[in-house]
A = this chain, B = another copy of it.
């Protein structure tokens, strides 16, 4: 059931402790569900209540603390010894009186960690302002340090096994995009396309099942293609509209995102003009990426490519991607953007998404790639172009403009 072996488990812990030592952190409170998974195997939809993994620099095993009803899951899905799984009673859950961090503070004091340098993930969704406040109240002799992204940076280079998981996710992403473009035509409701995508993503392939992506399928249409994060409605598509489809395949919580733009019938003049610019920029980037470059240098290739056509892009060009939980499949470490100093190394993985959004339309054609020893390789095979559909007929996947 576990997605990595005990040697990898020890290896991940040891790299984390090394970074803790470099940062002067003796006790690390890991609240990011992806980091909890990475360090222990823990995988459950229980992150809507406070929970954490405690990594102590001079203790061999981490401690899991969470809700009582989730302790069985922690024992079943992790490498942690059962005696290191500690559960708080249910009256701590979403209570105006009790807070789980009071419980955590008490445990830390009991095991002699109350006066140490404690690292916390300051900007994580699952470490609220109140969580820090209550910990500080409960541990007046501790010194708190910002350990945000400490484990995320350990995760930035994937193991070969993690790459294999991403390749499986990629196959799901390809099939889901195929299903999406197949099911988009005039008269179809947005929600039914979203349902088709979900079916494919969750069911996976005949050989292995899919997992839930950390972001829902995004498929704005018509003028809403200018607003990339609106979700679907039950509006029916019309001839001449464009639809942006952004989705991810997910396997064992590893994501491979993929975006394409679909035109229902003849593309607008704007889309016809912008598509080759985006594809050319993508190709230039993908041909140039290699280990040793910085993320900022990658972005400058794109920027120079589109500048030839008089276009500028405001948003970042991409981000590190892999293991994650809602609400984001991005890893919050390296971004492909101006000035990012991260140096590319083999088995770093990115979602390269040169989305352009104008006042009343937008376009997204993306690729997820892995840095290789000599360059990079994309995870998916879906044609890198605008997808043009016969507007009234369900067909295989639309004719591809080339």
Q: Does A117 make an interface contact (CB < 8 A)?
A: no
- Of the residues B122, B210, B215, contact of A129 by C-beta under 8 Å: B122
Contact: B195 with A202, CB < 8 Å?
Answer: yes
Bound: A126/B385 CA distance, A: 36
Contact: A224 with B314, CB < 8 Å?
Answer: no
Select from chain B the residue with minimum beta-carbon distance to A338: B91
Contacts of A95 in B (CB 8 A): 335
Question: Interface segment, A44-52, A262-270, A367-375?
Answer: A44-52
Select from chain B the residue with minimum beta-carbon distance to A246: B45
Residue among A93, A202, A203, A223 with max Cβ neighbours from chain B (10 Å): A202
Contact: B218 with A191, CB < 8 Å?
Answer: no
Contact: A230 with B315, CB < 8 Å?
Answer: no
Contact: B94 with A319, CB < 8 Å?
Answer: yes
Bound: A190/B204 CA distance, A: 11
Bound: A220/B373 CA distance, A: 41
- Of the residues B44, B148, B195, contact of A229 by C-beta under 8 Å: B44
Chain B nearest CB, measured from A37 CB (Å): 12
Q: Does A280 make an interface contact (CB < 8 A)?
A: no
Bound: A228/B73 CA distance, A: 8
Select from chain B the residue with minimum beta-carbon distance to A47: B327
Question: Interface segment, A13-21, A64-72, A103-111?
Answer: A64-72
Q: Does A208 make an interface contact (CB < 8 A)?
A: yes
How would residues 68 to 102 of chain A score, 1 for a CB under 8 Å from any chain B CB and 0 otherwise? Answer: 11101100110000000000011101111001000
- Of the residues B45, B72, B120, B215, contact of A45 by C-beta under 8 Å: B215
Bound: A85/B121 CA distance, A: 30
Bound: A127/B46 CA distance, A: 19
Q: DSSP majority for the A interface?
A: loop
Chain B nearest CB, measured from A187 CB (Å): 14
Given A69-B314, A133-B122, A215-B45, A209-B192 contact (CB < 8 Å): yes
Q: Give the oligomeric copy count.
A: 2
Bound: A243/B91 CA distance, A: 27
Contact: A44 with B230, CB < 8 Å?
Answer: yes
Contacts of A131 in B (CB 8 A): 123, 129
Contact: B127 with A123, CB < 8 Å?
Answer: no
Question: Interface segment, A158-166, A231-239, A271-279, A281-289?
Answer: A231-239
Contacts of A148 in B (CB 8 A): 130
Q: Does A328 make an interface contact (CB < 8 A)?
A: yes
Q: Does A11 make an interface contact (CB < 8 A)?
A: no
- Of the residues B129, B204, B228, contact of A128 by C-beta under 8 Å: B129
- Of the residues B129, B189, B203, contact of A127 by C-beta under 8 Å: B129
Q: Does A199 make an interface contact (CB < 8 A)?
A: yes
Bound: A229/B77 CA distance, A: 11
Chain B nearest CB, measured from A236 CB (Å): 10
Contact: B125 with A120, CB < 8 Å?
Answer: no
Select from chain B the residue with minimum beta-carbon distance to A33: B327
Chain B nearest CB, measured from A170 CB (Å): 17
Select from chain B the residue with minimum beta-carbon distance to A128: B123
Q: Does A4 make an interface contact (CB < 8 A)?
A: no
Sample of 18 more A-B contacts, CB < 8 Å, known A48-B215, A70-B229, A198-B199: A45-B231, A70-B227, A72-B227, A72-B357, A73-B229, A90-B316, A94-B319, A122-B130, A123-B128, A125-B128, A127-B129, A128-B128, A130-B146, A132-B132, A191-B204, A194-B212, A195-B198, A195-B200
A-B contact pairs, 11 of them (CB 8 A): A1-B233, A44-B230, A45-B216, A68-B314, A73-B227, A91-B316, A125-B128, A127-B128, A195-B202, A209-B232, A212-B216
Nearest first, the 4 closest Cβ-Cβ pairs linking A and B are A191-B209, A209-B234, A73-B227, A195-B203
